[in-house]
Chains A and B, each alone.
Chain A
Amino acid sequence: MITITPKRKFDVPIQAACINVDVFTGKTLNEIKKLAITEGKENLTLDDAFDLTEDKTLETPNITLTGDFSKVKRIGQGMKTGEIIINGNVGMHTGEKLAGGKIVINGNSDGWTGSEMKKGLIEIHGDAGDYTASPFRGNSAGMKGGLITVDGNVGSNVGCYLQGGTIKIKGSAGRFLGHHMSDGTIYVEKNCASRAGTFMTGGKIIINGTVELLMPTFTIDSIKPKVKVDATQNAQGPFYVFLGDIAERGTGKIFALKTTNPELATYEKYL
């Protein structure tokens, strides 16, 4: 196990895609220390900015990061195997294009965490930022598989262009949840801000709390007593089931809990 701690407080973003189990594998500690990173426009090596220690007795997790990493971007980018644990807050693009393995964040994560990921698991035991599990600007190929769990709240535009996989949020979600999604599942245990599921053509969004504003391009389909989140979990209803986004001829589903959304009762007359 390699333990990494920051040497100082960082003012400008650090690009550290090399903090990645695939990159570390087969390298000695000294080789790892010499891996290239950038701090702003400066080219540095890993040990210019971080203290690195190796504990040969422990196999997993492969990398442990302790301290404030909120300015450090692209940790675990494109990783295929292994486990990274981050004890502290972490910066943008963590676990971007993740293709396997596991990243545990004992703190908050910033934007684009798990962006375009294909496989694997990201556990966030704090809040997650905007664009979590959403592709980068202009890209229309989102998360394809894997699981992201968030214990806290998430920002806006989470799960955009989702094409598969599951996102479980224990807290509340910001605006434009599941914007443009075509498959996969998003489960929000608390409230959801306005415009969830805009442009969605498939997949499902399950909301246990209040739905701030349901898009008028969704139509009520039925009331269901429960819904399956994934192979291990069901959400207890009863749920109003809405179909949409009709403007996109979509067949996505939004499940809104009946008891927390009394104002949606007006839709019942169309059943």
Chain B
Amino acid sequence: MTEILIKNGFVIDPLNNINCQKMDIAIKDGKIVEKVNEREAKVIDASGLTVMAGGVDIHSHIAGSEVNIGRMLRPDDHVKDVVRKTALTRSGTGYSIPSTYVTGYRYSKMGYTTVMNPSMAAMKAKHAHEELNDIPLIDKAVFTLLGDWWVALETIAKGDLEECARHIAWMIRATRSYAIKIVNPGGLESWGFGRNVHSLDDEVPNFSLTPRDIITGMAKVNAMLNMPHTIHLHTNNLGIPGNYKTTIETMQALESVYKGDKPVGHITHIQFSSFAGDNWAHFKSGAAEIANYLNAHNHMTIDIGQVTFADTTTMTADGPFEFSLYELGGHNKWVNSDVETESSGGIIPFHFKKKNAVNAIQWSIGLELSLMIKDPWKVSMTTDHPNGGPFYHYPRVFAWLYSRKAREATLKKCNKKAQRKSLLPTLDREYTLYELAIITRAGTAKALGLKNKGHLGIGADADVAIYNINPETTDIAQNYKPVRKAFSNAIYTIKDGEIVVKDKEIIAIRPGRTMWLDVQTKEPYRINEEMKRKFKEYWTVEFDNYPVTDHYIKVPEKITIQASV
């Protein structure tokens, strides 16, 4: 394997406390090493450029059945953004739901090298993995939807968390997944009966338990299994005015699980869960309340789910929420489904407009949260691709965060009512490049428990992004446009020690790895007759066809962890 030496770049590596230091980064055999032989290594002159670890995205819907159905639903989306093939790259379509290859290319051009696909029903796992195989240039992992899985609900209702943990460990292995995803706990099960839950203490039909039991139970199970990531939680009442109260209650419920060391929960796309006001007419931001809570507590991490004003396609496992969006958004074409014993799902196109008061306030909420939560290590930057906007709009979000001028320019074009309600004019904070590196790679990798990602220390994966930003001479807050442009197109992206993007063009294609957890429980979990009987009765899939087998994953990276049960 080739050796690479990146010379004289301004290195920003928050996990190793390196802030804009001029130093060299040496790469050998796909890893960062102490030094390489300068005469033999390929030398990249990075003087005047910013060097960061490859970006890590904690939440982006890039593969799986809902993404693919979204593609089928929206030929009008593809026609807007047709990508031609080149000698090296394949053709495809883009905009809100890019095809697999285009997804890989665009992430890589932005300097991102690791992406988490956050929502996958276990039944659809094989499809999701086949699609992930076709996304080149980035490492990825999936989170399995387990919050409304019948077996989990039954064992939590029984109060037997150890048994629940063993089931979950099996499920994580069977679906080759990385974390526990919980979406509207209890709500998805209720949706199978045309209902929803509206608070943490509503009873889930046919199970004598509440969303609160599911959330705390799952957080405890997550701790028992020593999972690298926390539970990945999409809150109840998402997308409903006044839901910030539910979000705070959810975080309060998790306080009891916190042992004082590492976070116990991750609330995803929290912008959609930070609405105040009683109804849409009195809709306003609940960002201050959420930020105050998070500033005072250390047991949670969040990602933003920023709105970027795009004609996008919303997709989530939260079927009831998508239905309310259908009612709200003028009866657009839509898809909604109930995934047997596991989950539900919904897809609907949605155009976020600056002139719409609610949309503009949503945009403001995302930024308010990012700016008001003081500790950047608690925050990850996402747009909940494609729900808030496509992932390649990230540089716009960066600009709004590091430049007050950029925020004001956009706010001026927004709905007047939204402008009056926005807290942004009162917020002076501007992110530094160091903080930006935290919310896009270092902090994200830390929240995910990825030890070899998000930093450039010795032994880390050689995933590096080099941007055309000179932190010494550029005032990023004033000249936000060139910096935004630099972030949308990295000069170099290095993936596992191979240069894949050079001078903003893709020059090499390599498959990314799929990371998955092999959770070793003390007492090995065995599928008993009872479980097989349930499969016969409740699932449409035979038990033997259910687990994902090894040949479904092209380049697997198995991470073995020892559970404490």
**Chain A residues engaging chain B, CB cutoff 8 angstroms:** 135-140
Stretch at the interface among B60-68, B72-80, B412-420, B539-547: B72-80
B332 touches A138 (CB 8 A): no
Q: Does B333 contact A (CB under 8 A)?
A: yes
When C-beta atoms are compared, the residue in chain A nearest to B73 turns out to be A138
Contacts of A137 in B (CB 8 A): 75-76, 79
In the complex the two chains form, what is the Cα distance from A268 to B252 in whole Å?
66
When C-beta atoms are compared, the residue in chain A nearest to B75 turns out to be A138
In the complex, which residues 26-80 of chain B have their Cβ closer than 8 Å to any Cβ of chain A? 73-77, 79
When C-beta atoms are compared, the residue in chain A nearest to B72 turns out to be A138
Contacts of A140 in B (CB 8 A): 76, 332-333
What would 13 A/B residue contacts be, using CB atoms closer than 8 Å? A136-B75, A136-B76, A137-B75, A137-B76, A137-B79, A138-B73, A138-B74, A138-B76, A138-B333, A139-B75, A139-B76, A139-B79, A140-B333
Instruction: Tell me, rounded to whole Å, the shortest Cβ–Cβ distance linking A7 to chain B.
Output: 26
Given A136-B76, A138-B333: 12 more A-B contacts, CB < 8 Å = A135-B76, A136-B79, A137-B75, A137-B79, A138-B73, A138-B74, A138-B75, A138-B76, A138-B79, A139-B76, A139-B79, A140-B76
In the complex the two chains form, what is the Cα distance from A148 to B150 in whole Å?
58
Contacts of A139 in B (CB 8 A): 75-76, 79
Instruction: Tell me, rounded to whole Å, the shortest Cβ–Cβ distance linking B74 to chain A.
Output: 6
* 0/1 string, B300-341, CB within 8 A of A gives 1: 000000000000000000000000000000001100000000
> Looking at A136, A138, A139, A140, which has the most chain B CB atoms within 10 Å of its CB?
A138
The count of A-to-B residue pairs whose CB atoms sit within 8 angstroms is: 20
In the complex the two chains form, what is the Cα distance from A138 to B79 in whole Å?
10
In the complex the two chains form, what is the Cα distance from A137 to B78 in whole Å?
10
In the complex the two chains form, what is the Cα distance from A138 to B80 in whole Å?
12
* 0/1 string, B71-108, CB within 8 A of A gives 1: 00111110100000000000000000000000000000
Contacts of B333 in A (CB 8 A): 138, 140
Q: Which 6 A-B pairs have the closest CB atoms?
A: A138-B75, A139-B76, A138-B76, A137-B75, A138-B74, A136-B79
When C-beta atoms are compared, the residue in chain A nearest to B80 turns out to be A139
In the complex the two chains form, what is the Cα distance from A138 to B77 in whole Å?
8
Contacts of A136 in B (CB 8 A): 75-76, 79
In the complex the two chains form, what is the Cα distance from A219 to B332 in whole Å?
25
In the complex the two chains form, what is the Cα distance from A72 to B76 in whole Å?
22
In the complex, which residues 272-303 of chain B have their Cβ closer than 8 Å to any Cβ of chain A? none
Contacts of A135 in B (CB 8 A): 76
Contacts of A138 in B (CB 8 A): 73-77, 79, 333
In the complex the two chains form, what is the Cα distance from A137 to B75 in whole Å?
6
Contacts of B73 in A (CB 8 A): 138
Instruction: Tell me, rounded to whole Å, the shortest Cβ–Cβ distance linking A140 to chain B.
Output: 7
Instruction: Tell me, rounded to whole Å, the shortest Cβ–Cβ distance linking A134 to chain B.
Output: 12
Instruction: Tell me, rounded to whole Å, the shortest Cβ–Cβ distance linking B311 to chain A.
Output: 10
In the complex the two chains form, what is the Cα distance from A81 to B77 in whole Å?
27
Contacts of B332 in A (CB 8 A): 140
When C-beta atoms are compared, the residue in chain B nearest to A139 turns out to be B76
In the complex the two chains form, what is the Cα distance from A135 to B75 in whole Å?
11
In the complex the two chains form, what is the Cα distance from A29 to B333 in whole Å?
46
In the complex the two chains form, what is the Cα distance from A4 to B73 in whole Å?
39
Instruction: Tell me, rounded to whole Å, the shortest Cβ–Cβ distance linking B495 to chain A.
Output: 32
Instruction: Tell me, rounded to whole Å, the shortest Cβ–Cβ distance linking B406 to chain A.
Output: 30
Instruction: Tell me, rounded to whole Å, the shortest Cβ–Cβ distance linking A137 to chain B.
Output: 4
Contacts of B79 in A (CB 8 A): 136-139
When C-beta atoms are compared, the residue in chain B nearest to A141 turns out to be B76
Contacts of B76 in A (CB 8 A): 135-140
* 0/1 string, B205-220, CB within 8 A of A gives 1: 0000000000000000
When C-beta atoms are compared, the residue in chain B nearest to A248 turns out to be B331
Instruction: Tell me, rounded to whole Å, the shortest Cβ–Cβ distance linking A16 to chain B.
Output: 17
When C-beta atoms are compared, the residue in chain B nearest to A201 turns out to be B331
> Looking at B76, B77, B79, B332, which has the most chain A CB atoms within 10 Å of its CB?
B76
Instruction: Tell me, rounded to whole Å, the shortest Cβ–Cβ distance linking B564 to chain A.
Output: 51
In the complex the two chains form, what is the Cα distance from A139 to B76 in whole Å?
5
When C-beta atoms are compared, the residue in chain A nearest to B74 turns out to be A138
Contacts of B75 in A (CB 8 A): 136-139
When C-beta atoms are compared, the residue in chain A nearest to B332 turns out to be A140
Contacts of B77 in A (CB 8 A): 138
In the complex the two chains form, what is the Cα distance from A136 to B76 in whole Å?
7
In the complex the two chains form, what is the Cα distance from A130 to B557 in whole Å?
52
In the complex the two chains form, what is the Cα distance from A138 to B311 in whole Å?
14
In the complex the two chains form, what is the Cα distance from A140 to B73 in whole Å?
12
In the complex the two chains form, what is the Cα distance from A135 to B333 in whole Å?
15
When C-beta atoms are compared, the residue in chain A nearest to B333 turns out to be A140
* 0/1 string, B237-250, CB within 8 A of A gives 1: 00000000000000
In the complex the two chains form, what is the Cα distance from A246 to B75 in whole Å?
28
In the complex the two chains form, what is the Cα distance from A138 to B332 in whole Å?
11
Instruction: Tell me, rounded to whole Å, the shortest Cβ–Cβ distance linking B236 to chain A.
Output: 31
Contacts of B74 in A (CB 8 A): 138
When C-beta atoms are compared, the residue in chain A nearest to B77 turns out to be A138
Instruction: Tell me, rounded to whole Å, the shortest Cβ–Cβ distance linking B83 to chain A.
Output: 16
In the complex the two chains form, what is the Cα distance from A139 to B80 in whole Å?
11
In the complex the two chains form, what is the Cα distance from A1 to B79 in whole Å?
32
In the complex the two chains form, what is the Cα distance from A139 to B74 in whole Å?
8
In the complex the two chains form, what is the Cα distance from A186 to B76 in whole Å?
24
Instruction: Tell me, rounded to whole Å, the shortest Cβ–Cβ distance linking B332 to chain A.
Output: 7
When C-beta atoms are compared, the residue in chain B nearest to A135 turns out to be B76
In the complex the two chains form, what is the Cα distance from A136 to B77 in whole Å?
11
Instruction: Tell me, rounded to whole Å, the shortest Cβ–Cβ distance linking B334 to chain A.
Output: 11
> Looking at A135, A136, A140, which has the most chain B CB atoms within 10 Å of its CB?
A140
In the complex the two chains form, what is the Cα distance from A182 to B76 in whole Å?
19
In the complex the two chains form, what is the Cα distance from A135 to B79 in whole Å?
12
In the complex the two chains form, what is the Cα distance from A146 to B226 in whole Å?
65
In the complex the two chains form, what is the Cα distance from A138 to B75 in whole Å?
5
In the complex, which residues 328-370 of chain B have their Cβ closer than 8 Å to any Cβ of chain A? 332-333
In the complex the two chains form, what is the Cα distance from A145 to B409 in whole Å?
32
In the complex the two chains form, what is the Cα distance from A125 to B333 in whole Å?
35
Instruction: Tell me, rounded to whole Å, the shortest Cβ–Cβ distance linking A106 to chain B.
Output: 30
In the complex the two chains form, what is the Cα distance from A139 to B75 in whole Å?
8
Instruction: Tell me, rounded to whole Å, the shortest Cβ–Cβ distance linking A219 to chain B.
Output: 21
